[in-house]
Amino acid sequence: MPAKREHWASRIGFILAAAGSAVGLGNLWKFPYITWHNNGGAFVLVYLACVAAIGLPVMMAEILLGRRTQMSPVPAFEKLGNRGWGLVGFLGVLTGFVILGYYSVIAGWSIKSFIECVGWSINGYQQPADTAFGKFLSDGPLQLLLAFIFLFGTALIVWRGVSKGIEQAAKFLMPILLLILGYLVVRVMFLPGIGQTFHFLFRPNFSELPAAGVLEALGHAFFTLSLGMGVMITYGSYMHKRESIARGAGFVVFLDTLIALLACVIMYTIIFSVPGVAESVSGSTVGMLFVTLPRLFYTELSGGVLIGPLFYVLVAFAALTSTISVLEVIVSFFIDKLGFKRSTSTVIGTAAVAVCTFLSALSLGAVGFLSGFEIFAGKSGVLSTLDHIAANYLLPVGGLLTTLFVGWFVSRKISADELGMLDESGDPTFSFKLWLFFIRFIAPMAILAVIIAVILGKDFS
């Protein structure tokens, strides 16, 4: 066991690292896609309600578990509960393998898009053939190379530790990410499609919201806020006692939501600004981000030579700060539970993830049986299967068990004390009672509804 637990070197360290974990492909790839398919407005409103009523309280619960125990998920659950509860932490570690296994493959595509854009910016745009993306997907060696570059970069940062690795990386990557995002938002404000974008996003019309959209919004809230697998427990365990959990969680939730909405503003405005494109945005999630947009950057936008490469730097940085957090859950498990050194833990954790990544990368057409097998209807191949399992089962179940544990098992006194929500006479404040109500009743019931919907056949991946 390490003699002393590592901590963030500064208050902003936790915030940037946690926000870095939350802001990722979920914001830039999944959210714009599901919002598009759920017809905007009303879906956005429901999503905001889910984030505020369930995402925020659950994030506070996870951080408090980590901060109180100063331990990673498995020992944290064991300390405040018992060995049985430790299995919930272990589920989080397993979820980490599953998520990192496919996420690093998709993250790798941002490297390819970046290089392609740089080439177009220098040599002029050349419209790729319609089959180009399919060919790229089934190019096994290239998929492996890109995914492993990403995984290797993630491992290098995690290897360096909490303050010297994760915090430094977040302090470098997040401001650049925000600057690029800000630049892109300002840029699209002057395009003709901006009015239609605001109309689409912020004019709710509940008759256009598919019933399942409500549950989809909640399912996505877990994914995008990195909840349900112990990331926030782990990051909370590196937080100093003097910091406010509610304030930290509030800021992370706010930033994540803002960035998801801004990603929509950027992408939709470009799409709405070009006549005919909105009708033809493909039904696939990757279509919008990796196929439609690059073409529009170069054929329809002045300044596309700058916007194209910058946009994929944004995607890559957002993904990297997320993969770092997932690997850290795995690595901190080996450190805290098995007593390994950080370096050894990083090597073992990365090697184990690499197996999943290897299978995912080859499941997009390169290797027949990895691409073709189907456990869940309509989800063929390892990558889609892992995404389906994580988003539909692992994160909601992990989230449900965490809320039940904190709400019903951990004593009110411990929770109120850790959240700093005791008044002068030592009684829980009103804010605490409100938080507890959401954790005990609202969050578990809502998550249960998602799980039941999944069992009845709904798909949130």
Q: State the minimum distance, in angstroms, from the CB of residue 393 to ligand PFF.
A: 14
Q: What is the token pair recorded at 413?
A: 């006194």
How many other CB atoms are there within 10 angstroms of residue 422's CB atom?
A: 15
Pick 21 or 461: Cβ nearer ligand PFF: 21
Stretch that binds ligand PFF, among 45-53, 65-73, 189-197, 321-329 (CB under 6 A): 321-329
Task: Tell me the window of 20-28, 246-254, 294-302, 398-406 that interacts with ligand PFF (CB under 6 A).
Answer: 20-28
Segment 27-56, which members bind ligand PFF (CB under 6 A)?
27
Count CB neighbours of 299 within 10 A. 11
Q: For the CB of residue 301, give the shortest distance to ligand PFF in the complex, in Å.
A: 26
Burial status of residue 396 (CB atoms within 10 A of its CB: 0-12, 13-18, 19 or more) = buried
Q: Which is nearer to ligand PFF, 80 or 99 (CB)?
A: 99
Least distance to ligand PFF, CB of residue 100, Å: 9
Q: Which stretch binds ligand PFF (CB under 6 A): 5-13, 47-55, 322-330, 424-432?
A: 322-330
For the chain, the C-alpha Rg in angstroms (whole number) is: 21
> Quick check: 24 and 256 in contact, CB under 8 A?
no
User: Cβ closer to ligand PFF: 224 or 332?
Assistant: 224
Closest to ligand PFF by CB, 322 vs 371, is: 322
Rounded to whole angstroms, the Cα distance separating 140 from 359 reads: 10
* 104 part of the interface to ligand PFF, by CB under 6 A: no
**What is the distance of C-alpha 218 from the center of its chain?**
14
Give the per-residue contact string, 199-238, with ligand PFF (x = CB under 6 A; - = no): ------------------------xx-x--x-x-------
**Residue 217 C-beta: closest distance to ligand PFF, Å:** 14
**Cβ closer to ligand PFF: 57 or 398?**
398
Closer by beta carbon to ligand PFF, 197 or else 325: 325
The structure tokens 């220098």 sit at 122
Per-residue tokens: 434: 């409100």
Shortest distance, CB of residue 283 to ligand PFF, whole angstroms?
21
Question: With respect to ligand PFF, which residue has the nearer C-beta, 285 or 371?
Answer: 285
- In the complex with ligand PFF, the residue whose CB is nearer, 304 or 398, is 398
Residues that contact ligand PFF, how many (by CB under 6 A): 15
**How many Å apart are CA 235 and CA 259, to the nearest integer?**
21
Q: Report d(CA 454, CA 258) in Å as an integer.
A: 28
Closest CA to 382 of 401, 358, 398: 358
Among left, alpha and beta (phi > 0; psi -120 to 50; other), residue 70 is left
Q: Which among 36, 116, 100, 140 is positioned nearest to 313, based on CA atoms?
A: 116
258 Cβ contact partners less than 8 Å away, ≥ 6 residues apart = none
CA dihedral 97, 99, 101, 105 (to 10 degrees): -160
CB 103 within 8 A of CB 322: yes
Choices 18-26, 275-283, 308-316, 401-409 (CB under 6 A): range interacting with ligand PFF: 18-26
Choose the stretch contacting ligand PFF; rule: CB under 6 A; options: 16-24, 82-90, 295-303, 421-429: 16-24
Does residue number 26 form part of the binding site for ligand PFF (CB under 6 A)? yes
Asked if 181 is part of the footprint of ligand PFF (rule: CB under 6 A), the reply reads: no
CB-based closest residue to ligand PFF? 26
Least distance from C-beta 7 to ligand PFF, angstroms? 21
In the bound state with ligand PFF, the residue whose beta carbon lies nearer, of 273 and 357, is: 357
The DSSP letter of residue 425 is T
The CA distance from 43 to 375, in Å, is 30
CA-based end-to-end distance of the chain: 38
What is 20-54 written as a DSSP string? Answer: HHHSSHIIIIIHHHHHHHTTSHHHHHHHHHHIIII
| Least spacing, CB of residue 426 vs ligand PFF, in Å | 35
Q: Which of residues 436-455 bind ligand PFF (CB under 6 A)?
A: none
Other residues' Cβ atoms within 10 Å of the Cβ of residue 287 = 15
| Residues 6 or more apart in contact with residue 223 via CB below 8 angstroms | 26, 30, 390, 391, 395
Q: Give whichever of 22 and 91 is closer to ligand PFF, judged by the CB atom.
A: 22
Contacting residue, 88, 166, 326, 386, with ligand PFF by CB under 6 A: 326
Binding to ligand PFF by residue 21, rule CB under 6 A?
yes
63-102 residues near ligand PFF, rule: CB under 6 A: 99
Q: Interface with ligand PFF by CB under 6 A: which residues?
A: 21-22, 24-27, 99, 223-224, 226, 229, 231, 322, 325-326
